[in-house]
Amino acid sequence: MTIGELSKRTGCIIETIRYYERIGVMPAPPRTAGGHRIYDRDHLKRLNFVRRARALGFTLDQVRGLLALADERETSCAEVERLARAQLDQVRARIDDLGRMEGVLDEMVARCAGGSVPECPILEALFDGGDEGVG
Amino acid sequence: MTIGELSKRTGCIIETIRYYERIGVMPAPPRTAGGHRIYDRDHLKRLNFVRRARALGFTLDQVRGLLALADERETSCAEVERLARAQLDQVRARIDDLGRMEGVLDEMVARCAGGSVPECPILEALFDGGDEGVG
DNA sequence: ATAAACCCTGTACCAACTACGGGTTCAAGG
DNA sequence: CCTTGAACCCGTAGTTGGTACAGGGTTTAT
């Protein structure tokens, strides 16, 4: 199939597909006599893998690692699980982090919504450090 | 104070301070005869403001907007509140998104931890699309 | 044969920094 | 006064994960 078809089937735009090839996440496919890329079912599977892993927050570097493990087979499952757990930990840490941001922002707008304040409490919180323990 | 001192007092590295000046988030300070930057208390306050806003997830563009409103005074509070609310919404959306990622990852590693599976269930989920509805 | 649709490469751009190289200035000690 | 070493200067390039052109060449359908 052409790159346009692969794009349509995966929801991944053409430029990104070529980008993945450039950085070694997708293999260089064969070409037509005129130089157009030709993809097969394996390419489709691999690109879908990349998309799903990215959607779960894996970096492209981690995706490369997962793909290498998938190519190896044998003894890879434990390592894959380790990577997935690490990713899960990171996602959870990020959620905690955002939860703290949410709390501070929520408090800020709540103080503001009370109305009848001479100075803006949000700007004051930012200028004078209402809460240093964020970030 | 020197840029090094400002850096120490804010926890913001020197390159970033210069970067903020370049993009107009921090004002260009006066210089010594030799060209070294000299900062005062107002610079310190402003940089702390920027750092706190960034820690809450505001983009630099939003920070510029907040600073412009802070400089204006008068009639700015409602607008500041609007920006803070928008940011709060974004943070919550991101938390929801990550929560979905967490769910999928959690299920993946849970299936793996059960053991006694011939093929790696994590790789299979990624290759064959255990859950399309993510991202 | 020709036009439309598609594809090619290369480069530049986005956020929000970070890092580096090569040169200058400042403050302190001798 | 001179030297030394830390601190500072500027400009540029790299990072991550793409996106968006420009200016061409190829394929496909009529």
Q: Are A84 and B108 in contact (CB under 8 A)?
A: yes
Q: Which residues, in sequence order, are CB contacts of A93 under 8 Å at separation 6+?
A: none
pLDDT for A68-115, tens place per residue? 888 877 767 888 888 899 999 999 999 998 998 899 889 888 888 766
Structure tokens at B18: 């210069």
Q: DSSP secondary structure string, A15-29? A: HHHHHHHHTTSSPPP
Q: How confident is the model at residue B135 (pLDDT cuts 50, 70, 90)?
A: very low
Count Cα neighbours of A131 within 13 Å in the Cβ-side half-sphere: 17
Q: Best-predicted range by mean pLDDT among A122-131, B1-10, B48-57, B124-133?
A: B1-10
Question: Of B1, B89, B112, which Cα lies nearest the Cα of A105?
Answer: B89
A46 touches strand C (CB under 7 A): no
* pLDDT for B134 beyond 50: no
Bridge partner residues of B31 (DSSP) = B37
Bridge partner residues of A31 (DSSP) = A37
H or E segment to which residue A79 belongs:
helix A77-113
Q: Are B80 and A112 in contact (CB under 8 A)?
A: yes
Look up tokens 């059960």; give the residue. B114
pLDDT for B62-101, tens place per residue? 999 889 888 877 767 888 888 899 999 999 999 999 998 8
Q: Does B126 sit within 8 Å of A66, measured CB to CB?
A: yes
Q: Å between A33 CA and C8 C1'?
A: 12
| A94 to chain B, closest Cα gap in Å | 8
Distance of CA A24 to the CA centre of its chain: 17
Give the torsion sign (CA, A118, A121, A122, A125).
positive
- Rounded to whole angstroms, how far apart are CA atoms A42 and B99? 31
Question: Of B53, B33, B39, which Cα lies nearest the Cα of B8?
Answer: B39
Q: Are A112 and B84 in contact (CB under 8 A)?
A: yes
* pLDDT for B104 beyond 50: yes
* pLDDT for A50 beyond 90: yes
Out of B88, B101, B105, closest to residue A102 by CB:
B88
Chain A residue with Cα closest to B104? A56
> What domains, with CATH codes, occur in chain B?
1-58 (1.10.1660.10), 88-135 (no CATH)
H or E segment to which residue A35 belongs:
none
CA distances from B48 to A17, A87, B45, B117, B123 (A): 41, 32, 5, 53, 45
Structure tokens at A116: 């009848």
How many Cβ contacts (< 8 angstroms) between chains A and B? 132
- Rounded to whole angstroms, how far apart are CA atoms A131 and B131? 40
